[in-house]
Amino acid sequence: MRIAFLTAPEGVEQIELTDPWQAVMDTGDTPRLISTRTGRVQAFKHLDKADTFPVDQVVADASVDEYGGLVLPGGVANPDALRLDEKAVALVKAFFDAGKPVAAICHAPWTLVEADVVRGRTLTSWPSLRTDIRNAGGTWVDEQVMIDSGPNVLITSRKPDDLKAFCEAFTAEFTEKG
């Protein structure tokens, strides 16, 4: 099964991309990097530039039908840029409309807020998103991992320290749904 990883061209938190990516590979599934531009995405280690990663597909060419699930890595700048891109937001919403599982960590739920898919859902995130999630109709909890089984499974996590639990939770759900 192919799993979509959606990032902006710059600003993704490297470990929140690479650890989940490896977790997907460890299950035998195929991760694919989707971005709003071709080329490479620039990852960061907090505020410092880190590695770059090749884009497999641009958002405009991506279809939910090609993927079994969606992972939204965090980093402050990454979801902030994605939520300003109409096609990226539409792709995120399409995963929800199709009932496919979605996983988001740290600041990534900002993109979920923009896609208007948190209403009636319970999720966690980096604490500074708490008010945004509540204002969008979601329930925010301070837990390592939150699995909301709504019409589609939504797995969220707070921060890099939660990556092990996040990866275990979303790969188990994605494998079950795939």
Number of domains composing the chain? 1
**pLDDT tens digit string along 130-154?**
999 999 999 999 999 999 998 899 9
Domain CATH number, residue 29: 3.40.50.880
Cross-strand bridge partners of residue 141: none
DSSP 38: S
Whether this model's pTM surpasses 0.85: yes
The rounded mean pLDDT for the chain is 97
Question: Is residue 46 flagged as an active site residue?
Answer: no
Q: Across residues 96-103, what is the average pLDDT?
A: 97
Cβ proximity of 117 and 95 under 8 Å = no
Radius of gyration of the chain (CA): 14
Per the residue annotation, which of 32, 83, 100, 107 is the catalytic one?
Answer: 107
Residues spanned by the domain of 112: 2-177
pLDDT, average across residues 42-53: 96
For residues 107 and 175, what is the distance between their CA atoms, to the nearest angstrom?
24
- Name the band, by pLDDT with cuts 50, 70 and 90, for residue 177: low
Predicted local confidence at residue 150, as pLDDT? 86
State residue 93's pLDDT score: 98
pLDDT at site 178: 58
Tokens of 26: 């460890």
What's the pLDDT at 105? 98
Name the DSSP class of 26: H
CA nearest neighbour of 143 among 164, 127, 120: 127
